[in-house]
Amino acid sequence: MKPITISKKNSTIIMLFLITCMAFQPSYSQGGSAGAPNQQGRILALDALYNRVKNNSKVEGISLNEIKGSPYLNKNFEKSILYHNNKPVGQLLSRYNIYSDEIEIKKNITDKEYSALIKSKLIACDLNGQKLIFSSYKPENKMAEEGYLICLSDPLQEYVLYKKIKVIFRDRGVEQSSSLSKRTDAKFAKFTSYFVSKKEDKLAQELPKKGKKIASAFSDQHESEISSFIKEQNINTKEEKDLVKLFNFINTLDPKI
């Protein structure tokens, strides 16, 4: 891959390539309670266990190859486009570590060492056609958080649809002691939720799961149009492709009404 050419005079773009050497640093504090969740909602003791498994071939009977699922959006490093203030500024090899909520980067495919892209709301990454932004978002009935969201609609439109994926590491269950008992394998459990924000908003709100509640989340003048579209097009609000179709329609409505 050719090196990225950036003007040294542009200090704001240079900050894009400041990286923190966080390659799989555990996201837990030794002073915290082992059974308490950290800021990402993960259990600290399981964070510690996974980190030991990751760095050793086999720990406490768990092998990395035996863990079901994956902490990554895509396991392999792929060519990605980096953006600063919505303008493309260069390319790197990247992969999104959902578990640690980090974009891991390296310059060459042969490099064994990798780092994490600095987290900034000015920086975005287009990875294999999926644009990841670092943003503030508010899950329903929870405090606001910060993390990477995946854009599912044009970020320049009035309403932007985002997807948030979270991965939790779950330790194996009890060993099988009889033909009636089951042994639960260690695995990465993946959870997906959707968020929406208006173009000028700085906080994305979790999208309601039911069509009626989605329609009522928009302007009163557009509520009936959105409800009719959901019914006529048989929109399944649990299906991502249907949500994208719905938002494409919503963005055709006059935002001033």
Give the integer Cα–Cα distance in Å for 35 and 54.
20
SS3 213: helix
Nearest in space to 151 (alpha carbons), one of 177, 119, 127: 127
* pLDDT above 50 for 106: yes
SS3 76: coil
What's the pTM?
0.75
- Give me the phi and psi of 58, to 5 degrees please: -155, 125
Strand partners, 116: 20, 104
H or E element that contains 247? helix 240-250
Give the integer Cα–Cα distance in Å for 105 and 113.
9
For 177-199, how does the pLDDT look when each residue is reduced to its tens digit (9 = 90+)?
555 556 667 788 899 999 999 87
Q: Which residue has the tokens 């959870």?
A: 191
* pLDDT above 60 for 44: no
For 73-101, how does the pLDDT look when each residue is reduced to its tens digit (9 = 90+)?
998 999 999 888 888 888 889 999 998 89
Question: Percentage of the chain surpassing pLDDT 90?
Answer: 33
Count other Cβ atoms within 10 Å, centred on residue 118. Answer: 17
